[in-house]
Amino acid sequence: MSAPSAEGSTDSVQTFELGPEHELRFEVEGKNKVIMSVRAGMAEVFGTELVKEKEYTFLSGAKIAVFTWQGATIELRGKAEGCYIAKETPMVMYLNCHAGLEQLRRKAEENSELHGPVLMVVGPQDVGKSTLCRLLLNYGVRMGRRPIFVDLDVGQSHVSIPGTIGALLVERPAAVEEGFSQQAPIVYHFGHKSPSGNIKLFNTLVSTLAECIKERMQANRKANVSGVIINTCGWVKQSGYRSLTHIAQAFEVDVIVVLDQERLYNELVRDMPPFVRVVFLPKSGGVVERNKAARSEARDSRVKEYFYGLRSPMYPHSFDVRFSDVKIYKIGAPSLPDSCMPLGMKADDNKTKLVQMQPGMGILNHILAVSFANSLEEEVIQSNVAGFICVTKVDPERQMMTVLSPQPRPLPQTLLLLSEVQYMDSQ
Ligand SMILES: Nc1ncnc2c1ncn2[C@@H]1O[C@H](COP(=O)(O)OP(=O)(O)OP(=O)(O)O)[C@@H](O)[C@H]1O
């Protein structure tokens, strides 16, 4: 192995000999890319097996762990930052967790009255929740299972763009460079980067998605046996904690994995009914902490990926839309004191009200969700969305806006929901 430079970054070709249960960790920054390949042995990235001699390219922002159960020789080409081999990892414990899930799946296979395990991963920010979900899903699918992945992390969604919650049926392991294939996800518009943006709406959407998943599981025996893996946000105090208990109830979770935080573990042991297993697992020392700027950058690249694709480029359309041809709504009216509300309504009810917006400069660079609902009578809030557009120009004089859209005109629906998530299209 050639030695890394003073900053821990390497530019040349480097070969690493990994012993059994060792993990090679590195990051890619700036405009760099790193090409990785397995020269000998077997290795995996977050649960996806690597193909020997195949070249995997990681771009800026990637934070990667190449793990091997048996030992492997890994080659890296390009500028890998903070490259090192870790000999201590929690992977055996994560594998045991997967083995526990398999046991429950086998029981469900034998008894048609049972369903597969519904597991929720919780913990504060940057403890590897998304990574553990990916690992458990990958291990499940490698055993021939078809688990459902539910992502409730509205800040850093892995199913759709930020500001949404969603779910997808996982039919094959995540692509090493791109993650899970996002064909036919179920996506609900939330419109905020944290559940705290509108906790009432968040809980309502969680309940709706939970019902939808239950129906899908009833209709698909294989998914029903395989179970559900739920990713959550890192907001674990006060209302954040209450929203976790709401998720547990709505999805009727069987297992909660708490990463890293003993306090949260103890609170959940205290508050969950006895049939819910609460398990504590340590976080991996490799999980990279992200500051506010890095999170915002990750959100931006997620939206960019939605419109422009990641590796295989996509070519979004840009066209004008007349203000009079669409109706734009925001979900959630300003709170009024209970005493000012009509009889029988609580101030909180306002949080799920649709408020029509007058299109203007205020929507510039905002994401709009294109709702499947045709009219207000249909439950707009509880309908999943067809997709997203981004407002790239507003012309109040001509009463027009220009939008970026994955599909050519016309818009499939004219009911649009405003998101606080913004994206500056500079392509
Ligand atoms: N063992 C590891 N070695 C190196 N990098 C890792 C490892 N595990 C996770 N990472 C990286 O650390 C970053 C944070 O991990 P992850 O997104 O899973 O955390 P999280 O708890 O879900 O974060 P959030 O606070 O957004 O919910 C990711 O970029 C991931 O690729």
Lowest mean pLDDT among 87-91, 197-201, 371-375: 371-375
pLDDT, mean of residues 4-31: 81
Q: pLDDT at residue 8 above 80?
A: no
Closest to 138 in 3D by CA, of 82, 194, 180: 180
Q: pLDDT at residue 173 above 80?
A: yes
Give me the domains of the chain, ranges plus CATH numbers.
Answer: 13-88 (2.60.120.1030), 90-281 (3.40.50.300), 316-335+346-422 (2.40.30.330)
Q: What is the pLDDT of residue 4?
A: 46
CB-based contact 351:340 (threshold 8 Å): no
CA of 131 to the centre of ligand 1 (A): 6
Tens of pLDDT along 295-328?
A: 898 899 899 989 998 777 889 999 999 999 999 9
pLDDT, mean of residues 206-216: 96
- Phi and psi torsions of 420, nearest 5°: -75, -15
Which of 237, 287, 299 is the best mutation target for the ligand 1 pocket, counting ligand atoms within 8 Å of the beta carbon and taking the most?
Answer: 287
Residues within a 6 A CB radius of ligand 1: 25, 63, 65, 125-131, 153, 156, 234, 284, 286-288
pLDDT, mean of residues 109-116: 94
Q: How confident is the model at residue 31 (pLDDT cuts 50, 70, 90)?
A: confident
Share of the chain above pLDDT 70, in %: 93
Name the residue with the closest Cα to ligand 1, atom 23: 126
- Per the annotation, binding residues for ATP are 23, 63, 126-131
Q: What is the pLDDT of residue 344?
A: 63
Is it true that the peptide bond before 396 is cis, omega within 30 degrees of 0? no
Out of 156-165, 243-252, 373-382, the most confident range is: 243-252
Cβ neighbours, 10 Å, residue 88: 10
**pLDDT: which is higher, 347 or 4:** 347
Mean pLDDT of the chain: 91
Q: How confident is the model at residue 1 (pLDDT cuts 50, 70, 90)?
A: very low
Tens of pLDDT along 227-247?
A: 999 999 999 999 999 999 999
Q: What is the pLDDT of residue 390?
A: 96
Q: How confident is the model at residue 347 (pLDDT cuts 50, 70, 90)?
A: low
Which of 34, 56, 131 is the best mutation target for the ligand 1 pocket, counting ligand atoms within 8 Å of the beta carbon and taking the most?
Answer: 131
Reported pTM: 0.93
Amino acid making up residue 60: S
Helices vs. strands in the chain: H and E counts, helices first: 7, 23
pLDDT, mean of residues 250-258: 98
Q: pLDDT at residue 5 above 60?
A: no
Q: pLDDT at residue 423 above 60?
A: yes
For 398-422, letters b (16+ CB in 10 Å) and e give eebbbbbbbeeeebebebbbbbbbb
Which atom of ligand 1 is closest in space to residue 284's alpha carbon?
1
Q: Whats the size of the chain, residue-wise? A: 427
How many Å apart are CA 84 and CA 99, to the nearest integer?
Answer: 29
pLDDT, mean of residues 1-23: 73
pLDDT, mean of residues 405-426: 90
Q: How confident is the model at residue 341 (pLDDT cuts 50, 70, 90)?
A: low
How many Å apart are CA 408 and CA 315, to the nearest integer?
Answer: 10
CA of 70 to the centre of ligand 1 (A): 23
Q: How confident is the model at residue 10 (pLDDT cuts 50, 70, 90)?
A: low
CB-based contact 397:417 (threshold 8 Å): no
CA of 148 to the centre of ligand 1 (A): 20
Q: How confident is the model at residue 3 (pLDDT cuts 50, 70, 90)?
A: very low
User: Which burial class, exposed, middle or buried, applies to 343 when counting CB atoms under 10 A from its CB (0-12, 13-18, 19+)?
Assistant: exposed
Name the residue with the closest Cα to ligand 1, atom 18: 128
CA of 127 to the centre of ligand 1 (A): 6
pLDDT, mean of residues 118-129: 96
Q: How confident is the model at residue 9 (pLDDT cuts 50, 70, 90)?
A: low
CA of 204 to the centre of ligand 1 (A): 28
Q: What is the pLDDT of residue 426?
A: 78
How many Å apart are CA 133 and CA 232, to the nearest integer?
Answer: 10
Query: How high is the ipTM of this complex?
Result: 0.98
Which of 63, 67, 233 is the best mutation target for the ligand 1 pocket, counting ligand atoms within 8 Å of the beta carbon and taking the most?
Answer: 63
Give SS3 for 292.
Answer: helix
CA of 94 to the centre of ligand 1 (A): 14
Which atom of ligand 1 is closest in space to residue 232's alpha carbon?
27
Which of 126, 134, 289 is the best mutation target for the ligand 1 pocket, counting ligand atoms within 8 Å of the beta carbon and taking the most?
Answer: 126
pLDDT, mean of residues 192-216: 95
Q: How confident is the model at residue 18 (pLDDT cuts 50, 70, 90)?
A: very high
Q: What is the CA radius of gyration of the chain?
A: 23
